[in-house]
Structures are given as structure tokens and as C-alpha cells.
């Protein structure tokens, strides 16, 4: 009997309250006379849901689905997710805590198929940096077909790609990318634009013998996606014809710096051609100091 009376008392209180909420269609928490369907009082101000379903956080008249523009602490925080872009759906956001060139993290949105990065540094910008501590090259032009292939050092009077670089950075405005292939030394432009590119190389000191055409050439080559050469830009460094009798020796090298226009998919790659009449027919790179004399940098303008 006592239990029955308790239930009857609760019903007497709850049922009228339910009818009052339905009649007024307004809920106030800490608010005596709410003017919106839902109003919640906080120490900082009110959180409301208006008649159109918009949420205002310390905003009296929200203009969008969720309006945080209170002028004080109108920020929003999101975290990462292990969902694919398809699972998350188009329009979803996530935060990726993956630092690169000083960036602590970046935002991505789902386009329904892929996660697409927002660029934390504003304008998208490619940056590639690498140096070379190996002797690896690849002879790709020679009058003797059997010479085509991988080599150790630079073969005299042969066009040789500089291969097997040590990649230091390959990023697009802080987001890590794979536009540069350190094994081949080839960079593929992800979008059309102007790129600033420079590379240097140095050879181990040696005696330059008498000869009338001692020179080193550092060359940037551009090929289109079909592999056709569209540009070659080179720097030619000449040297004295004779360093004198042994043990006289000189360090020999070159560098090439260009601003080059690339279409999306174009391939940019450094190579060299030398004829310095060193003792022997193959010249070795100076890889001292962790390859500081053999470096490569590509920056989108």
C-alpha cells in the first residue's frame, strides 16, 4: 500500500509536468522564462537551440547549424579517427598530429572517397631536400650501348644520372608526400607551376692532367609524362688544363640552379657530364661530412 501511494504521488507530479513541457515546448536549465525551445545557463552565458534547430553557444541568434561566434572563446576541437574517408562520409573533419617542417599537425576533410589535407602554411608549397653519400650513378647516354647502366662514380664523357640520394624532406606545405624518388633522383611535379631547383656535386681531389677541354657540367633535365625531353639547363665549370706534377690535386665539382616551369606530371632530374682528364676514367664523389657537398633542393615558387 505504501509503494502504491509513492507511485501515485510521483504520477501526480510527473504527468502535469509532462503536459506543461509539451504545452510550452520550451526547456530552461537555470533559466526561469526561456524564449527558445532549449536554453541552458552556464557561467559564461547561455547555450540555446532556437526554433529552426540551430545551436548557439554563447550566441543569441545563431546563423548556421552550430554557431560559436561569441567573440570570446568561439573555438572548436576535433580529434583523429581511424575511419576511412568513405566510412566517415563527405564533409567529415579530422586532425592529424603529424609534424613536418615545424608544423605540429594539420586538418583533413573527407570528400567521400579520400582524406584531403588542408595546408597549414597557407598557399600549397612543395619542398624537397636531399643529399648524396653514395657513389651511385646511372649512365643513360653513351656511344657504347654496353656502358648503359648503374656505375660507381662518374664515368668520363658519359651522361650520368645521380642516383640513391638520402632524402631529408619531401613535403607539401608540411604534409609529407612522395613527389621525390630518392632512388632515382627524379621529382614529379604534382601540379603545374614554377619550381626553383638547385643541386651541387663535388668530386674527390685529384690531379687534372693536360688537356684542352677540362670541364664539369651540372644539368637539370625535364621530361614530360611520356618521357620526351622538353628542357635541359646546365652550368659548365671550366678548370686549368694542368694542375702540375703529382701530388698536386684540386677538388672539382659543379652546381646548377634554375627556375623552371613544369606541367603536372613533368619529371625533373639532375645529371652530370664531365671531362676533366683525371688520372683514370672514373671520378668518385667527395662524400665527406655526410655528403654536404652533394645536395639537392626543390621549392615550388
Task: Express each pLDDT in 149-162 by its tens digit.
Answer: 999 999 888 999 99
**CA nearest 223: which of 168, 182, 170, 260?**
260
Identify each DSSP E strand in 111-158 by its residue range. 115-117, 126-131, 136-141, 149-152, 154-155
Banded model confidence at residue 180, pLDDT cuts 50, 70, 90: very high
Rounded alpha-carbon distances, angstroms, from residue 287 to 130, 135, 157:
13, 8, 22
The answer to whether the CB of 66 falls within 8 A of the CB of 50 is no
Distance (Å, whole) CA 215 – CA 278: 11
The pLDDT, as a whole number, for residue 85 is 93
Distance CA 234, CA 281 (A): 22
pTM above 0.85, yes or no: no
How far CA 284 is from CA of 65, 198, 216, 274, in Å, comes to: 66, 21, 13, 12
Residue 186 binned pLDDT confidence (cut-offs 50, 70, 90): very high
C-alpha–C-alpha distance, residues 125 and 226, integer Å: 25
- Which band of pLDDT confidence, cut at 50, 70 and 90, is reported for residue 73? confident
Q: Cell numbers at residue 258, please?
A: 634554375
Amino acid at each position: 500500500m505504501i509503494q502504491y501511494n509513492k507511485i501515485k504521488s510521483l504520477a501526480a507530479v510527473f504527468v502535469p509536468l509532462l503536459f506543461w513541457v509539451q504545452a510550452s515546448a520550451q526547456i530552461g536549465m537555470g533559466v526561469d522564462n526561456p524564449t527558445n525551445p532549449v536554453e541552458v545557463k552556464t557561467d559564461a552565458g547561455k547555450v540555446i537551440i532556437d526554433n529552426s534547430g540551430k545551436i548557439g553557444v554563447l550566441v543569441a541568434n545563431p546563423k548556421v547549424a552550430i554557431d560559436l561566434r561569441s567573440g570570446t572563446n568561439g573555438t572548436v576541437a576535433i580529434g583523429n579517427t581511424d575511419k576511412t574517408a568513405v566510412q566517415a562520409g563527405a564533409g567529415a573533419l579530422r586532425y592529424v598530429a603529424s609534424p613536418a617542417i615545424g608544423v605540429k599537425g594539420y586538418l583533413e576533410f573527407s570528400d567521400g572517397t579520400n582524406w584531403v589535407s588542408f595546408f597549414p602554411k597557407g598557399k600549397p608549397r612543395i619542398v624537397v631536400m636531399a643529399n648524396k653519400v653514395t657513389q651511385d650513378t646511372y649512365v643513360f647516354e653513351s656511344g657504347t650501348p654496353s656502358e648503359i647502366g648503374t656505375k660507381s662514380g662518374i664515368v668520363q664523357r658519359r651522361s650520368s644520372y645521380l642516383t640513391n640520394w638520402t632524402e631529408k624532406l619531401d613535403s607539401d606545405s608540411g604534409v609529407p608526400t612522395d613527389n621525390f624518388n630518392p632512388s632515382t633522383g627524379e621529382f614529379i611535379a604534382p601540379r603545374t607551376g614554377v619550381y626553383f631547383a638547385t643541386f651541387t656535386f663535388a668530386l674527390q681531389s685529384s690531379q687534372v692532367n693536360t688537356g684542352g677541354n677540362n670541364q664539369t657540367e651540372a644539368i637539370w633535365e625535364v621530361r614530360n609524362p611520356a618521357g620526351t625531353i622538353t628542357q635541359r639547363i646546365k652550368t659548365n665549370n671550366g678548370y686549368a688544363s694542368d694542375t702540375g706534377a703529382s701530388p698536386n690535386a684540386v677538388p672539382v665539382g659543379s652546381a646548377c640552379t634554375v627556375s623552371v616551369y613544369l606541367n603536372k606530371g613533368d619529371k625533373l632530374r639532375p645529371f652530370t657530364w664531365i671531362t676533366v682528364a683525371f688520372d683514370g676514367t672514373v671520378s668518385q664523389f667527395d662524400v665527406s661530412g655526410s655528403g654536404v657537398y652533394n645536395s639537392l633542393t626543390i621549392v615550388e615558387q
